[in-house]
Structure 1
Amino acid sequence: MLAHLAIKDFAVVRSAELDFGRGLTVISGETGAGKSLLVDALGLLSGLRADSGVVRHGAERAELTAQFALDDASPALAWLRENELDEGDGDLACQWFTCQIRRVIRADGGSRAWINGRPATVTQLAELAGLLVEIHGQHEHQALLARASQLALLDAYGRTEHELAAVAGAARAWSELTQERATLLAQGDVSDRISWLEHQFAELDRETLDADSLAKLHADHRRHAHAAGLIAACDSAFAQLGGDEGPSLTRALHHVRGELQRVAEHEPRLNDIGAMLDEAAIQIDEALVLLDRVRGDLDVDPDAFASLERRIGRIHELSRKHRVPAEQLAGQRDSIAEELERLRGADERLQQLDAEIAGAHAHWRTAADALGARRRTAAEALSKDTTALIGELGMGGGRFEIALEPNDSERPDPQGAERAEFLVAANLGQPPRPLRKVASGGELSRISLAIEVAALGLDAVPTMVFDEVDSGIGGGVAEIVGQKLRALGASRQVLCVTHQPQVAAQGHAHYRVSKAASEGVTQSAVQSLDAKQREEELARMLGGVEMTREARAAAKRLLADVE
């Protein structure tokens, strides 16, 4: 919900800061005081086009800032996280998160925007604000004028989440299959491609390319390349360790062991040394066995070495040809094999795809028919409830209808097989017209209010703003409008700009906008009213400029009736 709104050098407002809570907040003031400027500010923060005319005369720029409080399940918070514009973990103790939108409009007509302190585009402002606030009143602010919003509200009212998800899934499956088919058809005649791939695969398949085989190949090559040196080193080591001719380490160890054993009775610690020498002799014997085995594997074989050289050369050539390291040649071979399999089965796959695409389309049609049935039932109920409320709001004889028009697209649509159009007949005997073509801003606001109340605020937007919703009405109808707004405030945060005391009395909170001349310039100021000040403001709204005893008494009665 909207928690705080700050305005600086905007139109006739030098500076104003407003705090908002839950329920219904009303904003009143004299004609021309600038009540609707707060709505205009929210509109600009929602991405509406700005011009230099909104900057207060004599100022360099206008600054607008809105602070929103979001819960963890908020679609707006999900959008912020998706766009990496969230502010971290928020207040985890109470599961509330904050979002700040700021916009600066310069006197030269330029503007900049920020979301949580990060630069943002006007498009991003509009996307985010569409999840945070709905402004009802002027045509350019009216969210319900968009047909997409109308369909979304109808789906929320009809609780069609399950059917809508089924339709979207079926449409996605159909799209993926048609894309696969288009990709196969785009390949055209693939016989040349198959022949070339078969040649590539044969070259790679002739070689053993797994990692262990490549490692063994290089080890064998190094051994043959250094065979002579390895043989000489092994022979020399064998002779020095245990050769039959000349001195050797084995005979030296046995000699030392014998000398120590003869005198060990005089020094027992020499027995420990003797044991160590015995272990060393055992290790040398084992080394001689392994050395003899290694020497037996060594042989100077020019033919074998040449064969290894040729094989390594072929692998290097394949590596250059395919532009991958030798270690990745096996993967390259497998990729070629997979592509060959796909191409060889392309004709068969195309035939399968035709059947699968037809089946996916039939599945979408079944799901879309189920969704359409739910929508028709919801449209009838919402039309009936809204029509009744329109009558209560002073539009006797008015009628609200929801027309479900077929979607002419041949492609399965994730949104279903129809589109919604909200239609309104403002007076008895008039044909219903699209809501977006209703001329009167006051009628449009009241119709929007009726729709929202009938739908019980089922759309996901947490804050609703009604600008001059009571235009052209008075008396008992105004009181009903106020009651409906207060009822809507039980499930959504509602802000209402009003000039009707019957509406203003229904507010949980009340702001007054006033204007005065300062330094030769008219300026507006915004004030939060306490109980006594509210009574005075309602008396002014009832009695006009002259505050009579009767007006104050009537104001008290209005407030008492609400309590």
Structure 2
Amino acid sequence: MLQSLSIRDIVLIEALDLEFGSGLTVLTGETGAGKSILLDSLGLALGNRADSGLVRQGTEKAQVTASFEPPAAGSRLAATLAENDIDIEPGEPLIIKRSVKADGGSRAFINDQPCSAALLRAVGGQLIEIHGQHDGRGLINPKGHRALLDIFAGVEGVAVREAFDDWQAAKSALEQAKQEQEAAENDRDYLEHSVAELSKFAPQPGEEQELALERATMMKGEKLTGDLEAIRAAFDGSNGGLASLRSAARRLDMIAEDHALLKEALESLDRAIIDATDAEDKLNAAADALSFDPQRLDDMETRLFDLRGLARKHRVEPDKLSDLLQDLQKRLAAISDGGRTLEDLEVSLAGARKSYIAAAESLRAKRSKAAKALDKAVAGELAPLKLDAARFETLLEEMPEDHWNKSGMDRIEFLISTNPGAPLAPLGKIASGGELSRFILALKVALAEEYGLKTIIFDEVDRGVGGAVASAIGDRLSRLSRGAQLLVVTHSPQVASKGDAHMLINKSRSGTVSRTDVSALDNEGRRQEIARMLSGADVTDEARAQADRLLEGV
């Protein structure tokens, strides 16, 4: 709900601060007083084009500030603000500020946070509906007719949305499987060759490191073999060092009893033999460990180089070749299983499509029933609004399959005919300004109990009518305002008398300077203004009496 509107330096308005309440607020004034300026100012705050011509002559910029009640938690408006990083504390009013400079350029803020004009339009469309002589939004736009009918029917279409999502998911799964199958078929020769090649080679995880280590060890052994043989030759044979030590020990043993030093020498010699024997054993063990087999080395190098060559060929690390083999085997197997998989997915797709159609047809039945009820409700509102020759009909027809969506299979549009025998046509194409406003009013009244109303502005909905028709318009505006905030610009005293609040728009002159002001009227002020609307510039007692009768009838 619009709570307040502050206008600075827009055309004829120097400074204006207005407060608004719920219910029906009527705005009246003489022709040319500046009612359109007021609506243009509000439109600027709602994201309309920033025209520098709006800036009051002699000033640098114009500014409008509009304050609205806090957005409801979980509402579409709250989601829109959150999606655009506009932070509003719970319970804090929504304040929109828009300024335009005389030399061009504009700035916009929502609760002091900069925003684009596009965001203002998105937010403004969720705050206020303006229905005027040239309005092309709101109920006129067929894009919103399906949602309005669903609200009137009391359906949410959850089953259709879920069925549509399942159908699209099945369609995507089948398409992806077909692409994979096609790619696999194209790769069949490559897969068969690669699997055969890798299977024959049988790469093992960690094999490269093992082969490289063993190869390095054998090559090192090749270098040490000659030295080891020469060293071992010093130990081996009857003339080797160890044999000589043992021979000397035997001869010393026979004479060692004859002298103490000989005994000590024998003991030392025995220890040397033990150490030498241990050294010989270790030399033999090392020789065995470093044994060099030229054939084994050649086989090992061939395996290692082939392993690395395969890795380069398939662009993987050598240790990943075994994993690659498993993956290629699975892909090759999938070619054979792909036909069966596609058949299963096609069955699933057909089932999902059938479920969607069933849900959409069930929704259509509810829409069809609601459309008849809405047509009847609107028809009941037309005659009192001097539209008794007009017809209203809700078009409901099936769209081509490529246009089916989460909202169902139906195209929905409100159509009218204003003359007997004339064909039905879209709402905004054949109605004149006054007729269009009255059609919209009839729709609003018909939808009032179901439609989530917000602030609605009617600009001269009573244009071109008077008497009983104007009274009927006033009655319907009053009914509509019970569930919404209505601002109505009117020239009709019958409509003005129905207002819960009355604002007078007045233009004054001071020398060559003109100004537009708006003032809230008290009871006497309302009586005087309605009397003026009845009689013109010269307010008569009879006009005042008639004004009293209109006000008493509210």
Instruction: Place the TM-score, normalised by the shorter chain, in its bin.
Output: 0.7 to 0.9
Q: Which amino acid aligns with 1:79?
A: T
Give the structure 2 partner of residue 52 of structure 1.
Answer: 52
Query: Kindly tell me: are residues 478 and 339 of structure 1, through their superposed partners in 2, closer, same or farther at Cα, counting changes over 3 Å?
Result: farther
Give the structure 2 partner of residue 185 of structure 1.
Answer: 178
Q: Which amino acid aligns with 1:501?
A: P
Aligned-partner Cα distance in 1 for 2:395–2:510: 53
Cα deviation digits, residues 73-101 of structure 1 (max 9, x gap): 532122222332131x422xxxxx52222
Query: Kindly tell me: are residues 429 and 412 of structure 1, through their superposed partners in 2, closer, same or farther at Cα, counting changes over 3 Å?
Result: closer
Alpha-carbon shift at residue 345 of structure 1 (Å): 5.0
Q: Which amino acid aligns with 1:363?
A: S
Aligned-partner Cα distance in 1 for 2:526–2:549: 12
Percent identity between the aligned chains? Answer: 38
Aligned to 2:435, which of 443, 448, 451? 443
Matches within 5 A, 1:120-519: 120-161=115-156, 164-187=157-180, 188-190=182-184, 206-207=204-205, 345-456=337-448, 458-518=450-510
Question: Is it true that 1:551 corresponds to 2:546 in the alignment?
Answer: no
Query: 1:361·1:412 contact (CA, 8 Å) conserved in 2?
Result: no
Aligned-partner Cα distance in 2 for 1:462–1:507: 17
Query: Kindly tell me: are residues 152 and 347 of structure 1, through their superposed partners in 2, closer, same or farther at Cα, counting changes over 3 Å?
Result: same
Alpha-carbon shift at residue 393 of structure 1 (Å): 1.2
- Secondary structure, aligned partner of 1:131: helix
Query: 1:139·1:436 contact (CA, 8 Å) conserved in 2?
Result: no
Aligned-partner Cα distance in 2 for 1:467–1:445: 8
Question: Is it true that 1:75 corresponds to 2:76 in the alignment?
Answer: yes
Q: Which amino acid aligns with 1:181?
A: L
Cα deviation digits, residues 3-51 of structure 1 (max 9, x gap): 1222222232222222222111111111111113333333333333343
Aligned-partner Cα distance in 1 for 2:493–2:315: 82
Q: Which amino acid aligns with 2:521?
A: L
Give TM-score, length-normalised by structure 1.
Answer: 0.72
Give TM-score, length-normalised by structure 2.
Answer: 0.73
Query: 2:390·2:416 contact (CA, 8 Å) conserved in 1?
Result: yes
Query: Kindly tell me: are residues 546 and 83 of structure 1, through their superposed partners in 2, closer, same or farther at Cα, counting changes over 3 Å?
Result: same
Matches within 5 A, 1:9-48: 9-48=9-48
Query: Kindly tell me: are residues 204 and 150 of structure 1, through their superposed partners in 2, closer, same or farther at Cα, counting changes over 3 Å?
Result: farther
Query: 2:462·2:473 contact (CA, 8 Å) conserved in 1?
Result: yes
Q: Which amino acid aligns with 1:74?
A: S
Q: Which amino acid aligns with 2:37?
A: L
Query: 2:205·2:322 contact (CA, 8 Å) conserved in 1?
Result: no
Aligned-partner Cα distance in 2 for 1:408–1:8: 52
Larger radius of gyration: 2
Alpha-carbon shift at residue 540 of structure 1 (Å): 1.6
Give the structure 2 partner of residue 107 of structure 1.
Answer: 102
Cα deviation digits, residues 210-233 of structure 1 (max 9, x gap): xxxxxxxxxxxxxxxxxxxxxxxx
Query: 1:201·1:336 contact (CA, 8 Å) conserved in 2?
Result: no
Alpha-carbon shift at residue 128 of structure 1 (Å): 1.9
Aligned-partner Cα distance in 2 for 1:388–1:352: 54
Aligned-partner Cα distance in 2 for 1:413–1:168: 8
- Secondary structure, aligned partner of 1:140: coil
Cα deviation digits, residues 374-412 of structure 1 (max 9, x gap): 111111111111112111112222221111132124353
Aligned-partner Cα distance in 2 for 1:31–1:49: 25
Gaps of 5+ in 1: 92-96, 209-300, 304-310
Query: 2:184·2:332 contact (CA, 8 Å) conserved in 1?
Result: no
Give the structure 2 partner of residue 257 of structure 1.
Answer: none
Q: Which amino acid aligns with 1:15?
A: A
Query: Kindly tell me: are residues 49 and 347 of structure 1, through their superposed partners in 2, closer, same or farther at Cα, counting changes over 3 Å?
Result: farther
Query: 1:131·1:460 contact (CA, 8 Å) conserved in 2?
Result: no
Q: Which amino acid aligns with 2:73?
A: D
Cα deviation digits, residues 294-350 of structure 1 (max 9, x gap): xxxxxxx999xxxxxxx9xx9xx99xx9999x9x99999999999888777544333
- Secondary structure, aligned partner of 2:42: helix
Give the structure 1 partner of residue 93 of structure 2.
Answer: 98
Query: 1:36·1:497 contact (CA, 8 Å) conserved in 2?
Result: no
Query: Kindly tell me: are residues 189 and 436 of structure 1, through their superposed partners in 2, closer, same or farther at Cα, counting changes over 3 Å?
Result: same
Aligned-partner Cα distance in 2 for 1:329–1:38: 77
Aligned-partner Cα distance in 2 for 1:193–1:381: 61
- Secondary structure, aligned partner of 1:139: coil
- Secondary structure, aligned partner of 1:410: helix
Give the structure 1 partner of residue 520 of structure 2.
Answer: 528
Give the structure 2 partner of residue 261 of structure 1.
Answer: none
Query: 2:398·2:410 contact (CA, 8 Å) conserved in 1?
Result: yes
Query: 2:23·2:482 contact (CA, 8 Å) conserved in 1?
Result: yes
Query: Kindly tell me: are residues 180 and 108 of structure 1, through their superposed partners in 2, closer, same or farther at Cα, counting changes over 3 Å?
Result: farther
Q: Which amino acid aligns with 1:5?
A: L
What is the count of residue pairs matched by the alignment?
461
Aligned-partner Cα distance in 2 for 1:461–1:51: 30
Query: 1:147·1:419 contact (CA, 8 Å) conserved in 2?
Result: no
Query: 1:132·1:461 contact (CA, 8 Å) conserved in 2?
Result: no
Aligned-partner Cα distance in 2 for 1:344–1:59: 80
Alpha-carbon shift at residue 548 of structure 1 (Å): 1.5
Aligned-partner Cα distance in 2 for 1:329–1:516: 91
RMSD of aligned residue pairs (Cα, Å): 3.9
Q: Which amino acid aligns with 2:184?
A: V
Alpha-carbon shift at residue 72 of structure 1 (Å): 2.4
Aligned-partner Cα distance in 2 for 1:201–1:30: 94
Query: 1:511·1:528 contact (CA, 8 Å) conserved in 2?
Result: yes
Alpha-carbon shift at residue 553 of structure 1 (Å): 2.0
Query: 2:4·2:17 contact (CA, 8 Å) conserved in 1?
Result: yes
Aligned-partner Cα distance in 1 for 2:333–2:49: 56
